[in-house]
Amino acid sequence: MRLEYHVTGRDFQAAGEAAAKIKRTLRQIGIDAETARRVGIVAYEAEMNIVIHAYCGIVGIDILPQRVNIYADDEGPGISDIALAMQVGYSTAPEDIREMGFGAGLGLPNMKRYSDELEVTSQVGSGTSIRAVINLPAKEEG
């Protein structure tokens, strides 16, 4: 099952809605609360990265029997030094956005912390792609 949402850069009105829908849908189809929370956090950070830094993009998930794959692709400035962007506290967000409580340099570290696998690829001047995997807890034999 696939869910996919369009995200518009600088649209703080709708920001967070894709992640909220993803989390809600996961709960509705019976995914456990902790997994839904982790997917929600990773999707939120991916969505906010597009809103803050890119022109537009998509955020989506594929729900598979053993895991949830999260993907985000944007058209934007890209990230020149991914290792640096992964560091807690490093951010290129402008001041007006920081004042709103965004751009604290926690987005990518949060994604890493709450996912089981994370891959960030980027081309400067073109865009950024994120692939994250969150494994579902093993089902207990009933």
Instruction: Tell me whether residue 48 or residue 118 sits nearer to other proteins (CB atom).
Output: 48
State in angstroms the smallest separation of the CB of 48 from other proteins. 8
Q: Length of the chain in residues, anyone?
A: 142
Work out how close the CB of 114 gets to other proteins at its nearest, in angstroms, rounded to a whole number.
8
Return the number of the residue (11 or 66) whose C-beta is nearest other proteins.
Answer: 11
Q: Least distance in Å: CB of 102 to other proteins?
A: 6
Q: Least separation, in Å, of the C-beta of 27 and other proteins?
A: 10
HEC string of the chain?
CEEEEEEECCCCCCCCHHHHHHHHHHHHCCCCHHHHHHHHHHHHHHHHHHHHHCCEEEEEEEECCCEEEEEEEEECCCCCCHHHHCCCCCCCCCHHHHHCCCCCCCHHHHHHHHCCEEEEEEECCCEEEEEEEEECCCCCCC
Question: Which lies closer to other proteins via its Cβ, residue 34 or residue 141?
Answer: 34
Binding residues vs other proteins (CB under 8 A): 12-13, 15-17, 19-20, 23, 33, 37, 40-41, 44-45, 48, 100-102, 104, 106-107, 110, 113-114
